[in-house]
Every structure is written in C-alpha cells, then in structure tokens.
Structure 1
Amino acid sequence: MCIGVPGQIQSIEGHQAKVEVCGVLRDVDLTLVGNVDEQGHSRLGQWVLVHVGFAMSMIDEEEARDTLAALQNMFEVEPDVGALLFGEER
C-alpha cells in the first residue's frame, strides 16, 4: 500500500524543499510539481502530498488537514502509521 502524507513547504532551494509533516522537517524533491506555481509564484507555504521523498501533487490546506487528522486517527489503532507522520525515529 502506498500512502502520501501531507506536508507544508517551509523552504525551497532549487527543486529541493524542507517540508514540515507533524512537526518533523523532511527533505522533499519538488521536481514533479515544480518549485513555482502556474503563475510563477513560489510554492513556499503551499501544501504537498509526499511519498518516498517526492512531492507527488499539490493539495489545498483543508484537504491536507483532513488527511493528517485521518492519519492521526489511524495511528491510534495502528502504531506503524507513526513512522509516516513522525519519521522513523519514533
């Protein structure tokens, strides 16, 4: 099963970004979505769906927060989901 995790872009350098997911900063490649939007504005502060270190798609904040809430509910019954949300160190 493949699960994308929502995160908010905190910084961008080229096509590499720091994306915050549940308080953890992750290195994410923006090549698939670009580092600017269709109007040429930076994606800084925007939300992305992250899978294995790549931003797979852009999502809006409401969808991101709803998905994070659902994943956190899953974590309560399936602790393995924690690695997706909080990183491998937990």
Structure 2
Amino acid sequence: MCLGIPGELVELPDDETDLALVTVSGVRRKVNIGLLRDEEELVVGDWILIHVGFALAKIDEQEAAAALRVLHELGPAYDQELQDFATTDVG
C-alpha cells in the first residue's frame, strides 16, 4: 500500500538538487520538492504531503495533524509505510 504521508520540512536544499530533508513521525530523510518548488514558497517548518519520495502538496499544520491521526489508526499499514520511507532513497 502506498500512502500520502505528511512530513515537516527541516532543511531546504542549498543547491539545485530539489532534495529537502523532512521528518515523518521521527524518521528523517530527503524527499524531492521539485514538483512544488516553482508553485509554492517553501520554508523550514512547512508541512508537505509526500508520496513515493516526492512532495505533492503543501499543507497546513492542522491538516497534517489530522492526517497523521488517521494514519496512526491504520496500524500495520502505516508502520510498513514508515519502514519503507526510512529505507528507500530518492537521491
């Protein structure tokens, strides 16, 4: 199962790679923000919706919290998604 999961931007790229560092439920990794970079002004602390290593949308903190509550209720499916998120790499 592939889920769109909310993550918080903790570091934006200082080069042209489009790879930003995010945290999702304590898991930190880089995701590609290229799909949003030209459309949205992104800053550290923003929340984004992530799917298969790519940021698809900028969301607000309340939307992120609500999505995380629902995802936690999925139990094993969300646990597997977090494991996949932690062990895959877009770069």
Whether these two folds match at TM > 0.5 is yes
- 1:43, distance to aligned residue in structure 2 (A): 2.0
User: Which segments of structure 1 move beyond 6 Å, counting only runs of 4 or more?
Assistant: none
- Give identity over the alignment, percent: 36
> What does residue 30 of structure 1 align with?
33
More helix by share: 2
Count of residues paired in the alignment: 81
Structure 1: any 5+ residue segments left out of the alignment? none
Higher relative contact order (CA 8 A, sep 6+): 2
Match of 1:19 in 2: 22
Corresponding residue for residue 57 of structure 1: 57
Q: What is the TM-score with the length of structure 2 in the denominator?
A: 0.78
Kindly provide the amino acid, as one letter, of the partner of residue 28 in structure 1. Answer: V
SS at match of 1:17: strand
The SS at the match of 2:3 is coil
Instruction: Let me know the Cα RMSD of the aligned residues.
Output: 1.9
**Amino acid corresponding to residue 50 of structure 1 in structure 2:** I
Asked whether the 8 Å contact 2:48–2:59 carries over to 1, the reply is yes
Instruction: Confirm or deny: 8 A CA contact 2:36 2:57 kept in the other structure.
Output: yes
